[in-house]
A and B are shown apart, each in its own frame.
Chain A
Amino acid sequence: MEQLIILIALITLGYVAGSITEKRHYRSLEAREKALVNLPAVNFKQLPVDPAIVRKSEMVVGNTVIAVDYFKRILAGLRNVFGGKVKSYESLLDRARREAILRMKENAKGAAIIINVRLETSTIGKSSKNQNATSIEAMAYGTALIIGEQ
């Protein structure tokens, strides 16, 4: 019986704390995306501009690690029995990727465009005993082009 009570308490805590954190993060993401909307991050492999006008180019990286709360984990575990979209993890990955791209943009101050943007996600802290991930990492990297006179 105690096990059931602990389980329910952890799930409730995970849900409440997780929702608060998530809402706060989304607000921050939207605000920063608005501010950085004028810096395009594209995945072209080739230069979209004349190479002569490129003053400097450098690789920029944005990285973030976000933890899974208990509620999402339980939901994903149940989903694994029946199959279908694991909706609880969708917002997690969405936030992680957007955060990574924003950090990459923030590292590219003064650039006109970031090309060849790639995204990589991986799980961190996944042990063999506990099959569900404990946190996920998203990394975005690309080439920032600073345009101007040489």
Chain B
Amino acid sequence: MKYTPILPENNDNISHESPVKELFILSAGIIGIVIGIYVALGFAVNWIVPHISLETEKKMAALFSGVTGKGEDTSPRAKHIQALCDRFQKSCAKIPYEVNIHIIENEIANAIALPGGNILLCSGLLEKMGSENELAYVLLHEFGHFSNRDHLKGFGRSLVFVAISAALFGPDSTVGNLIAGSIGISETGFSRVQETDADEFGIEGLQCAYGHVNGATDFFEKMSKAEDPHIFGNYFSTHPETLKRIEHIKAYARENGFDLKEKKPLPDQFKKISESD
């Protein structure tokens, strides 16, 4: 046997394609799949949510009892607002929920609709209220979300997403956490369409309850003029395009011939309480 010392001309054990190109192709593939699932999920959730019964939703409400506290909120302010809500529910805003008001001490001016008919009002919001009409509009707006079952749609989507990314990448991966985080941020608020629909529900309810719609845009106008971004900054992350909404509310009121009459002030009982708190 003769040994001929030669070296191979090419290295056949490696691939010569650019790894950067491969990175872009694979990343684009993953992103495409994620977006595809997101869109499909949107359709699926919108189809399923109307079929979720109220009993199931009440069970889900139990998950939030840690935030709302068990049972009813019995503070005087909450009782007064609860009375307002009950009045609305009887005549103007017929929604199939038993609305429960809970007030939490929080500087941020926000109101949240939770499954089961619970409305969480931040004390920061209540302090900004200038008239009963303004408060009524905020409440009726939340009623609108309940009527469209918006709160269930956002909740369902983000949950499925976290589950999918956990299955694909493992529970503790960098890429998986990134995806879950970005979905979480995009689902904190209701979509623009959902907000607009809730606005329309709110203004119709206001017209029905008071005979006019003065006070509907007061809250939004205060928010857009706010000079201190620290307290209201969080508001804007969940409620973008406030100015567009003000315009839409005014236009809707004009189209439907709603009046602007004198606003009803908040009762003394309410003011005294908020001053002493």
Neighbour of A78 across the interface among B14, B23, B174, B177, CB < 8 A: B23
**Within B202-236, which residues are at the interface with A (CB < 8 Å)?**
none
**Within A1-23, which residues are at the interface with B (CB < 8 Å)?**
3-4, 7, 11, 15
Give bound CA distance, A30 to B6, whole Å: 12
**Within B156-171, which residues are at the interface with A (CB < 8 Å)?**
168, 170
Across the interface, do A77 and B5 meet the contact criterion of CB distance under 8 Å? no
Mark interface residues in B23-44 (1 if CB within 8 Å of A CB, else 0).
1001101100000000000000
B53 lies within 8 A of chain A by Cβ: no
Across the interface, do A87 and B23 meet the contact criterion of CB distance under 8 Å? no
Across the interface, do A71 and B178 meet the contact criterion of CB distance under 8 Å? no
Known contacts A34-B7, A78-B26, A94 near B174 by CB under 8 Å:
no
Neighbour of B26 across the interface among A40, A75, A113, CB < 8 A: A75
Q: What is B's interface to A at a CB cutoff of 8 Å?
A: 1, 3, 5-7, 11, 13-15, 17, 19-20, 22-23, 26-27, 29-30, 168, 170, 172-175, 177-178, 181
Shortest Cβ distance from A21 into chain B, in angstroms? 14
Across the interface, do B172 and A87 meet the contact criterion of CB distance under 8 Å? no
Across the interface, do B174 and A37 meet the contact criterion of CB distance under 8 Å? no
Across the interface, do A87 and B19 meet the contact criterion of CB distance under 8 Å? yes
Give bound CA distance, A9 to B40, whole Å: 33
Across the interface, do B26 and A7 meet the contact criterion of CB distance under 8 Å? no
A52 lies within 8 A of chain B by Cβ: no
Across the interface, do A94 and B178 meet the contact criterion of CB distance under 8 Å? no
Give bound CA distance, A81 to B19, whole Å: 17
Interface bin, chain A = 20 to 34
Across the interface, do B26 and A38 meet the contact criterion of CB distance under 8 Å? no
Known contacts A82-B29, A90-B14, A3 near B174 by CB under 8 Å:
yes
Contacts of A82 in B (CB 8 A): 26, 29
Shortest Cβ distance from A51 into chain B, in angstroms? 16
List 16 interface pairs A-B (beta carbons < 8 Å), by A numbering.
Answer: A3-B174, A3-B177, A4-B178, A15-B20, A30-B7, A33-B7, A38-B5, A72-B19, A75-B19, A78-B27, A78-B29, A82-B26, A87-B14, A87-B19, A94-B13, A113-B3
Neighbour of B17 across the interface among A7, A34, A74, A87, CB < 8 A: A87
Known contacts A3-B177, A90-B13, A94-B13, A37 near B19 by CB under 8 Å:
no
A85 lies within 8 A of chain B by Cβ: yes
Shortest Cβ distance from B61 into chain A, in angstroms? 33
A88 lies within 8 A of chain B by Cβ: yes
Give bound CA distance, A90 to B20, whole Å: 15
Neighbour of A40 across the interface among B3, B13, B19, B172, CB < 8 A: B3
